[in-house]
Amino acid sequence: MINVYLHGPSWFLGVDAALEALAAFIALLVTLASYRTYCATQERRHGYFTLSLGLLTLSFLSRSIADSLLRGIFITLSETTAALIFFAGYVIHIMLAFIAYIILVCITHKISDKRIAALLFMTLIPGLLLSGSYYRSFYGLSFIFLAFITFAYYQNHRQVKTRSSSLVFEAFGLLAAAQIQFLIQGFYILPGDWWNTLFVTAHVTQALGYLFLLFALLRTRLVTNETRKNRHRV
């Protein structure tokens, strides 16, 4: 028997699904841009980056659809159907997000040994399955991965020093901060209704992180257009 636990205040029902859909949409835009660079360069790491962002897109899409259905936005579900949708939607979300994060960790930290990537993935299995709470394990492990990715992007920004690289670093920093909020919220240790508020702020922080990623992507295009204009002027 699967128990369906829905977090957050009642007024937030559906808003979380919409924010997850926004994250999926932005991840899709980055995937398409990344695929374009892969086509131009034919470099394997660009291919892996495209794959990683593509998996994140599907992960958030799965979570968004599951949350929309579970919160009864489109249809009212029976208890068994709700349990099935909860299980399928969240399992897909968790697994795809982890694979995406592992690929991102390997790319950003330039880990080329596939055995290490496999080791990282295998350590997740007991971390999730043997845990008393999949929710806390997921956000705890996600925070660790995203903190490592953020650190790599901080180093990248120090080297490259462009506004886009700064935005990417800030985006991943916000995503890591969101995971910490989800994690604390999952312990229900906060007094009063604060744990509900933290659920909302975690979602907003995550959405902000993806918006920063979108700004970085848009900036990439804008900077290029300026460069091109300047080149024509010369």
Partner 1 sequence: MKRAKIDIVYDMLKAALDKGGRILPTHLLYKSNLSHQRMKVYIDELMQRKLLAQTEHKGKMHYEITDEGRKFVADFAKVKEFTQAFGL
Which residues of this protein are in contact with partner 1, per CB under 8 A?
A: 33-34, 36-37, 40-43, 45-46, 49, 107-108, 152-153, 156, 160, 162, 164-165, 167-168, 216-217, 219-221, 223-224, 227-228
Q: For the CB of residue 155, give the shortest distance to partner 1 in the complex, in Å.
A: 8
Q: Which of 158, 54, 142 is nearest to 105 (CA)?
A: 142
Residue 15 vs 29, nearer CB to partner 1: 29
d(CA 8, CA 181): 13
**21 DSSP 8-state letter:** H
Q: For the CB of residue 126, give the shortest distance to partner 1 in the complex, in Å.
A: 30
Residue 49 vs 182, nearer CB to partner 1: 49
Gyration radius (Cα) of the chain, Å: 19
The alpha-helical segments, DSSP class H, found in the chain are 15-41, 44-70, 79-108, 114-129, 134-160, 163-186, 194-233
Residue 24 vs 216, nearer CB to partner 1: 216
Residue 53 vs 124, nearer CB to partner 1: 53
Report helix angle 44-70 to 15-41, nearest 10: 160
Q: For the CB of residue 102, give the shortest distance to partner 1 in the complex, in Å.
A: 16
Q: For the CB of residue 1, give the shortest distance to partner 1 in the complex, in Å.
A: 43
Residues in the chain: 234
